[in-house]
A = this chain, B = another copy of it.
Amino acid sequence: MPRFALKIEYDGAPFSGWQRQNDVPTVQGEIENALRRLDPALTFIQGAGRTDAGVHATGQVAHVDLVRDWPAAELMGAINYHVRPNPIAILDVANVSGEFHARFNAIERSYVYRLLNRRPPLTFDRGKFWKVHHPLDVAEMQRAANFLIGRHDFTTFRSVMCQAKSPVKTLDEITITELPYPHGTEYRFFVRAPSFLHNQVRSIVGTLERVGFHQWPAERVRDALAAADRTACGPVAPPEGLYLDTVRYPADPFSQK
């Protein structure tokens, strides 16, 4: 059976996360429903990573096996047609070998977290940011973030529900930038690692926000990491600011068409 890789963008707001569930709309479930219109024998698609309820993606990757050997551009158009009116877009489709596995072959993920300081309520971008009402100190947040770079026991920064066998992970990058936004300021966090623990990015961003608002000294983040204790974590940032940005593979399936 021909295998295809899909690059997927979605607004997570109306979905109970990526993973298929009974009786509630999920991103995986809606894409599978669309694919079943093309291939009634379809069983499931495999995503690179599960995103929680309300979390967005601009570059999720999944693979799927289909009976028919579709031209990639035609398959992309057909899924986009049948997935309507969900806020899900297939950005790219590639015919890949049967060896390609969206989850197990991925060597790196990156997430973007968007935080906004703005006094008036949001109109156009509601549900796309974590909104606060105070400016944040980017330099102090970056200094605190740098304590987290490298290989560490991230027990402090993972959900108690996390099913990963080990809490030890390597974090390669946290870059925080300040961007203009009408009547406000966006603080954008770019976080990159081979893989993540459950709620790791939201736990880190929620903790760094405390530093940016000068409620926590930067060194408290270093101490919280060293404690390897979930109760040492700051508040967990809400899901609506989080975007699964990129999934990287040894060879980019979408550049080899």
CA distance A56 to B88 in the complex (A): 23
A11 at interface, CB cutoff 8 A:
yes
> Smallest CB-CB separation from A122: which chain B residue?
B89
Known: A58-B182, A182-B58. Contact between A89 and B121, CB under 8 A? yes
Given contacts A58-B182, A182-B58, contact A11 B124 (CB under 8 A): yes
Q: How far is the CA of A25 from the CA of B88 in the complex (A)?
A: 28
Nearest opposing residue in chain B for A182, CB measure: B58
Interface of A is mostly: loop
Give chain A's interface residue range (CB within 8 Å of chain B): 20 to 34
Q: Give the CA-CA distance A91 to B121 in the complex, in Å.
A: 9
A84 on interface, CB distance cutoff 8 Å = yes
| Copies of this chain in the oligomer | 2
CB–CB A89/B123 < 8 A: yes
Contacting residues, chain B, for A124 (C-beta < 8 A): 9, 11, 56, 87, 125, 128
Taking a contact as CB atoms under 8 Å apart, the answer to whether B121 and A80 are in contact is yes
| A87 proximity list for chain B (CB < 8 A) | 122-124, 126
A75 sits at the interface (CB 8 A): no
Pairs across A and B, CB under 8 Å, 10 listed: A9-B120, A10-B123, A11-B123, A56-B124, A58-B182, A76-B120, A80-B120, A88-B123, A89-B122, A91-B120
- 3 nearest A-B pairs in the assembled complex, by CB-CB distance: A89-B120, A87-B123, A11-B123
